[in-house]
Amino acid sequence: MSWIDPDFPKTATPSDLVGRVLGLNPGMMTGPGTNTYLVGRRHPILIDTGIGVPEYVPLLEGYLRERGWRAPERVILTHRHKDHLGGVKDLRAKFPGLPVAKRIHRDEDLPEGITDLRDSDVIEGDGVTLVAVYTPGHASDHLCYYMPEEKALFTGDVVLSGSTSVIPSGDGDLLDYMNSLKRLQALDVRRIYSAHGPVIEDGPERIAEYIAHRRMRERQILEALGDGLDTIPAMVKRIYADVPEKLHMMAAQSVESHLKKLAREDRVRETIVRDKPSRWALIG
C-alpha cells in the first residue's frame, strides 16, 4: 500500500470496541489522513479529532448512525499538532458541552476548556478502559492510550503504520523518543492503532523495528562524521541517496534530531557558523 493511499477506507470497524473515522487530510506527512478512533460499546470515547476538515463531522455522524452508537461522551487527544486537535471547534459546535482533555505541557493556542491528563490517568468508558502513557519525543506533550481489554495501544504519531515518525526540530527530542519506545516495549501490547495508516497486528515487532531503524540511522550518521561529512545537507545527501530530493527536507529534520541526541550524550559537538549550516564533529 502506498503511504498516500486514495483507496484507504474513510471509515472502518477494526474490532467490536473500536471504530475508525478518517480525518480526510491526505498528504506527504499524513499519508491517507489522520485516523480518529471511537472506543467503546455504544457511547464511545473519541481519540483525536482530525484537522478540522468540514466534511469530517458529517462523516463521523454517519458512522455513528451506522453502528447504532450515541454521540461521543468525551474527546481525548494524543498531542497538540493541528491534524489531531484542529477539529475540536467543529465537534463542540455539533455536540455542545463535549469534554476534551489532553496533557497540557507548555501549550499555546489551545481551544478553551481543555482539561489536563497526566501519565497513568485512567479514563473509564462504555465497556472500555484507557490508560494514558506519557510518550514524549515526537511532541513534548504526547500521550499514547493503552486499552487492556484488547491489549491494544493507540499510539498517535509515536508509531505509524506506513512510515517512520518525524522528530520535529523544535518540540521533538530523539532521546526522549527512544526512551518512549522502550517504555512501550515494556507494555503487554498485541495490536497497535496508529494515527496514520491501517491497524498494526504485531505491535511488539513494529516497535522493535522502529528502535532498530533509529539505531541504524545513528550508525550511518556517526560513520558520515567519521568520514569528514560535517554538515546536515552533506549527511542527508549521502544517507538518503535513494530517497527523492523532495523528501530531503524531512530527512534533514531526522538527521538534526539524531545529532542533537548525540550532543546530549556528549558524543558530538556543534559549531555554529554565521549564515551557513552548522558544522558537527565527533568528540574524542
Quote the longest CA-to-CA distance of the chain: 64
- Beta-bridged to residue 21, according to DSSP, are 11, 36
Angle at which helices 248-264 and 232-239 cross, to 10°: 120
Predicted confidence band at 11 (pLDDT cuts at 50, 70, 90)? Answer: very high
> What is the predicted pLDDT for the residue at 1?
35
Report the CATH number of the 11-201 domain.
3.60.15.10
The closest of 153, 257, 254 to 201, measured between CA atoms, is 153
pLDDT 10s digits, 111-159: 889 999 999 999 999 999 999 999 999 999 999 999 999 999 999 999 9
Q: Round the average pLDDT of the chain to a whole number and report it.
A: 94
**Which has the higher per-residue pLDDT, 2 or 254?**
254
pLDDT 10s digits, 227-270: 999 999 999 999 999 988 888 888 899 999 999 999 999 999 99
pLDDT 10s digits, 111-124: 889 999 999 999 99
Long-range contacts for 228-232 (Cβ within 8 Å, ≥24 apart)?
230/279, 230/280, 230/281, 231/277, 231/278, 231/279, 231/280, 232/256, 232/259, 232/277, 232/278, 232/280
Domains 11-201 and 216-282 share a fold: no
Which cell is 179 given?
A: 526512551
Cα–Cα distance measured from residue 250 to residue 180, given in angstroms and rounded to the nearest whole number:
21
Cα–Cα distance measured from residue 104 to residue 106, given in angstroms and rounded to the nearest whole number:
7
> What is the predicted pLDDT for the residue at 3?
63
Which cell is 62 given?
A: 454517519
> What are the boundaries of each domain within the chain?
11-201, 216-282
β-strand 100-102 against 74-76: which pairing, if any?
parallel
Cα–Cα distance measured from residue 143 to residue 234, given in angstroms and rounded to the nearest whole number:
34
Whether 29 has a pLDDT exceeding 90, the answer reads no
Reported pTM: 0.94
Please tell me which of 96-100, 102-106, 160-164, 169-173 the model is most confident about, judged by mean pLDDT: 96-100
The CATH class, in words, for 216-282 is mainly alpha
In which order are the strands placed within the sheet that holds 74-76?
A: 11-15, 18-22, 35-39, 45-47, 74-76, 100-102, 114-116
CB 156 within 8 A of CB 49: no
Task: Indicate the burial class of 266 (C-beta count within 10 angstroms; 0-12, 13-18, 19 or more).
Answer: exposed
